[in-house]
Homo-oligomer: A and B are copies of this chain.
Amino acid sequence: LKRKITQKQIARELDISISTVSKALKNSDELSQDTKDKVQAFAKFYNYKPNQFALSLRSQRSNIIGVILPGISHHLYASIFTGIEHYANKHDYNVIVSVSHESYDDEVAKIEMLANGHIDGFIVSLSKETINKNDLEHLIHVVNQGIPVVLFNRPTNQIDCDKVVVNNFTSAYKAVKKLIECRKKRIALIISDCHMNSSAINDKVEGYVQAHLDHGIPLNENLIVKISNTDVSDYTIKSFFGRENFDAVICVDEMSAIQSMRLAKEKGMEIPKDISFISFTDGILSQQAYPSLSVIAQDGEKMGEMAAMMLLERIESTNKEEIYRTEIIESMYIERESTLN
């Protein structure tokens, strides 16, 4: 139960002044080597570590960043966090995580709590509820206080700050292109979470359409279906499988992909011979499904590192030129069993 030693105590023990101790510990060259050696040896012996609270008070910086995630079970957010933590730790920062659970109220409360706390900056992915409400006062307030913010994955153009986003258009484009290469011609697009009025969905639809046009595949609007949640057990999707005729499916998330595959199997179709599947988010489900699921995946770690990099740059930059950047992380295709050439 030994309290940590301070410069004051070292000074008293060695019968020198506190400022000499401070300088010795910083290896200042205005001190004699003798004194420095003596102090440093003593400090080392008693395992001196500077008091971070005092340092923070002086510098008004904590080297802690706050990360607001809508969820944490989700594979994408888990790997984004890994990326953030990796970059942050490497640069001597710690990470406070707060999860909004897709709730607006949680998001507001947690951001506020952190903004009045020890945080040097924020990395935020907005909750679905926030996007739908389109109420961003809490974040605007943070930005106005001069606290650096990086938005990622689910941006909004209502906030002027650095951003890291995925390219939903090209993701969808790539998926369609891949399926066309597999000689599929009737490609369904299943959009879960269609209550989200984010640009993410529109961009995907546009990419889907454009890929059809570019490859001369006829577009059938009936093959685009929206379901309100990620649970596919509802009537909409079952009747869709019963009614329409298609040989490939693109799902916005892996959960609905898994369940759609089950519906296809129940219809007696063979995957990927009769019908191929691609989903947009990678995760353990995609990997372990049977057959395993090909995906257009976001590189979460890369997104996280990028976001952390932008934030630390902003925190440590002295000149306040307000040229905010938006970085786009391209997705990649991971081939598994649910598609084949």
Decide if A98 touches B110 in the complex (CB within 8 Å). Answer: no
Decide if B73 touches A99 in the complex (CB within 8 Å). Answer: no
Find residues 294-341 in chain A having any chain B CB closer than 8 Å to their own CB. 320
List of B residues within 8 angstroms of A96 by Cβ? 64, 94-97
Find residues 93-142 in chain A having any chain B CB closer than 8 Å to their own CB. 94-99, 110, 113-114, 116-118
Decide if A1 touches B144 in the complex (CB within 8 Å). Answer: yes
A323 to chain B, nearest CB (A): 15
- The residue among A73, A96, A113, A320 with the most chain B CB atoms within 10 A of its own CB is A73
List of B residues within 8 angstroms of A64 by Cβ? 64, 96, 118
1/0 contact trace for A169-207 toward B, CB 8 Å? 000000000000000000000000000000000000000
Q: Is A273 an interface residue (CB 8 A)?
A: no
List of B residues within 8 angstroms of A117 by Cβ? 52, 63, 94
Known A49-B116, A113-B89: A72·B62 in contact at CB below 8 Å: no
Q: Is A262 an interface residue (CB 8 A)?
A: yes
Q: Contacting chain B: which of A157-165, A220-228, A234-242, A283-291?
A: A283-291
Q: How many copies does the complex hold?
A: 2
Query: In the docked arrangement, what's the CA distance between A228 and B78, Å?
Result: 25
Choose among B94, B98, B284 the residue that contacts A114 (Cβ–Cβ < 8 A): B94
Q: Is A42 an interface residue (CB 8 A)?
A: no
List 17 other contacts, CB 8 Å, given A1-B146, A89-B110.
Answer: A1-B144, A2-B145, A4-B145, A52-B117, A53-B53, A53-B60, A54-B57, A64-B64, A64-B118, A73-B78, A82-B99, A89-B113, A94-B114, A95-B97, A258-B288, A283-B284, A284-B284
Query: Can you list 28 pairs linking A and B with CB atoms under 8 Å apart?
Result: A1-B146, A2-B144, A2-B145, A2-B146, A49-B116, A52-B117, A52-B118, A53-B56, A53-B62, A53-B118, A56-B56, A57-B57, A72-B81, A72-B82, A73-B78, A81-B99, A85-B98, A89-B98, A94-B96, A94-B98, A94-B114, A95-B97, A95-B98, A97-B97, A262-B290, A284-B285, A285-B288, A290-B290
Identify the A interface with B (CB < 8 A). Answer: 1-4, 49, 51-54, 56-57, 60, 62-64, 72-73, 75, 78-79, 81-82, 85, 89, 94-99, 110, 113-114, 116-118, 144-146, 255, 258-259, 262, 283-285, 288, 290, 320
